[in-house]
Chains A and B, each alone.
Chain A
Amino acid sequence: EAQVTQNPRYLITVTGKKLTVTCSQNMNHEYMSWYRQDPGLGLRQIYYSMNVEVTDKGDVPEGYKVSRKEKRNFPLILESPSPNQTSLYFCASSSLVRGAGGEAFFGQGTRLTVV
């Protein structure tokens, strides 16, 4: 089954304690991205990657890091989380193949609370 898998689904942590949210896709998609969802703001992109070792900032990258060492994985790293990073996070992937349409496939989400 084609899917994007995020872990963990729920996470409560303390300010300053480094954490990683994992994301993996099994569709051989080139493009992967991270979004955060906050009430009234929709989804805002944090970082994206167009292929292995190619990453770039989205609209709200401050306080986040990513890496793309393998095509299927795109972890999101918060080196020193702060309460304003409390949010619902989504990983997504899509194909860059010409004519594929480019719709994104989303993971189930990670609800992060930073206290």
Chain B
Amino acid sequence: AQSVAQPEDQVNVAEGNPLTVKCTYSVSGNPYLFWYVQYPNRGLQFLLKYITGDNLVKGSYGFEAEFNKSQTSFHLKKPSALVSDSALYFCAVRVSGSARQLTFGSGTQLTVLP
């Protein structure tokens, strides 16, 4: 079975500081990894994905994520946080070559303090 863990329910960071939202995964096979963001009263918006290739993936709004196969991690990062980045972030995984559903983590609430 595939699974995703987001160990932090809440992350607080000061505006202008770098931010990291952690994600680890477990799959049998090669993973496809995704990050989504959810603003209040909105659906999930796709941020970025890792399929193959470069371990550092760049996405929307200045976010990036680093795939680490040995640590089975896919942490979301941003060099300089904005107040507008405050939202709920979800990591998701599915196995490459499979039509299996995406499995989501429980979400991390990011709050950027002015």
Please give the residue numbers on chain A whose beta carbons come within 8 Å of chain B beta carbons, in ascending order: 4, 31, 33, 35, 40-45, 48, 50, 58, 90, 92, 96, 101-109
Contact = CB atoms under 8 A, between A and B. Distances in A.
A40 B42 CA distance: 17
Interface of B: 6, 9, 32, 34, 36, 41-46, 49, 51, 90, 92, 94, 99, 101-102, 104-107
Contacts of B34: 103-104
B44 A90 contact: yes
A104 B102 contact: yes
A31 B102 CA distance: 11
Contacts of B51: 101
A105 B94 CA distance: 15
Interface of A is mostly: strand
Contacts of A103: 34, 46, 49
A65 B102 CA distance: 20
Contacts of A106: 36, 43-45
A58 B103 CA distance: 10
B43 A109 contact: yes
Among B42, B90, B102, max chain A CB count under 10 A is at B102
Among B42, B44, B105, max chain A CB count under 10 A is at B44
B106 A101 contact: no
Nearest to B107: A42
